Amino acid sequence: MLSQSEFDALPKVRMGRRELLAGLAAGTVFPFAATGCTAENPALGRRQLMLVSDDQIAQLSDQTWQAARQRERVSNDPALRRQADRVGSRIANASGMSQHAWEFVVFDSDEVNAWVLPNGKVGLYRGLMETTRNDDQLATVIGHEAGHVAGRHAQERASQQMAAGMATGLAAVALDQADVQNAGAWAGVLGAGLTFGVLLPYSRRHELEADRLGVDYMARANYRPSESVIFWQSMMDQSQRGAPPAFLSTHPSDQERMNALNSHIRSRGYA
């Protein structure tokens, strides 16, 4: 991993921000790859740019989680809490990511939303849980979030932001001081921005990868992958009837998602 001084010494890429991000995501921008800052992700079957370490991300994730629990009201509904733990533990076990201390907390809000931090902390809003019709559909949500963790999407996005020069100052402060005051800003990079009103969405590629991995975890946990199609379709229907649910605000909700999901389910032979 690069220190800030090493990062500053890297050769500058002369292209627009949009083109640089697209090039990084596609693996076509080579000055950073040449430094050895890419890593193979077996879950995705591709290499990723990694300029931040797992330890750095874990520390910032822990602080963000504590800040979220202080800012949000945690639900006392025993049925919702049992459901979150029941479904979440099965998905976590199926994912094989036992290195994380998984935690599933229900926030008492009508918001239809959920998010995950790279350390396995999952925030589920009452509004979203009440929207799901059964454990299988909740497994769709938690499986998708676990897919982001396995995909190391937060680390990759943070690295892309740093490499593009969009978050160099923020990274220097956060990585040097790692104080709670920076947790709100880092939450956007980590994918939990809705909690703090600072949202930097995952890319379409990340969302489709999380869908695919989530379906695999559902199947391993003996949930019905077919329910994932029903869930996402219901989210899309809500979006078409008015303002999109918060859970869809950063997600591809078009036919591409449904086509990719159905194709993966058929290719795996899931019922």
First to last CA, the chain: 42
Please give the positions annotated as active site: 145
Is residue 123 within 8 Å of residue 115, measured between CB atoms? yes
Q: Tally Cβ neighbours within 10 Å of residue 29.
A: 20
Is residue 194 within 8 Å of residue 125, measured between CB atoms? no
* CB-count exposure of residue 114 (10 Å: 0-12, 13-18, 19+): buried
Q: What is the DSSP string of 174-207?
A: HHHH--GGGHHHHHHHHT-HHHHT---PPPHHHH
- Residue with the two structure tokens 């990723």: 48
